Amino acid sequence: MPRVGLSPDLLVTAAAELADDVGFAQVTLSALARRFGVRTASLYAHVDDLDHLRAQVAVRALAELADRTAEALAGRSGRDALAALAAAQREFALSHPGRWQATRYPVDAATARASAGPRIADLNRAVLRGYALPESEQVHAVRLIGAAIHGYLDLQQSGSFDHSTPSADQSWDRAVDALDTLLRHWPTPATDPEPAS
């Protein structure tokens, strides 16, 4: 009986592909084992348990998303950068739906810190440099932009836009446009000259 040559890394890779095929929630050790022509129990030599596997897929998905976003952002700024950021994330979500879902899998604090999550936040923040936002408003803007992009892709993926007239794709460009406008007119609250000391 020839050995298959499993490894933690290989399993995570295959799990990510599986997620794209059947959905992140349907990633199962059984299915993964089947893919390798191996018994489920054999996987436990390389993976702690299902939750751990999912967390690893999440971490990898975040890293890939960060990579692609960084690549898309290189050399761009302002509206251009915003559009590139949005396009990169959209492209990722559409071409890798399972990994995209994995992106929101809750992982423990230490893993989260060590993941590419913060890097993605930094990239979002970098986009804001093209807009004149006060330092104190940046977190809020980053979050809203992130939420809008994320929410849009999420609603689209779950089919919420399937039952109304213009296709989800058509609204996307308008949405990016709107976000650009928003960043240009970002409402700064009554400026607090001296932050409470």
Q: What is the contact surface with its own copies in residues (CB under 8 A)?
A: 25, 104-106, 109, 112-113, 117-118, 121, 137, 139-141, 143-144, 146-152, 154-155, 158-166, 168, 170-171, 174-175, 177-182, 185-187, 189
Comparing CB distances to its own copies, the nearer of 158 and 191 is 158
Comparing CB distances to its own copies, the nearer of 47 and 62 is 62
Closest approach of its own copies to the CB of residue 113, in Å: 6
Closest approach of DNA to the CB of residue 97, in Å: 19
Per-residue contact flags (x/-) with DNA for residues 34 to 73, judged by CB under 7 A: ---xxxxxx-xxx--xxx----------------------
Closest approach of its own copies to the CB of residue 177, in Å: 5
Tokens of 171: 């609204």
Residues 17-36 that bind DNA (CB under 7 A): 28-31
Q: Which residues form the interface with DNA (CB under 7 A)?
A: 1-7, 28-31, 37-42, 44-46, 49-51
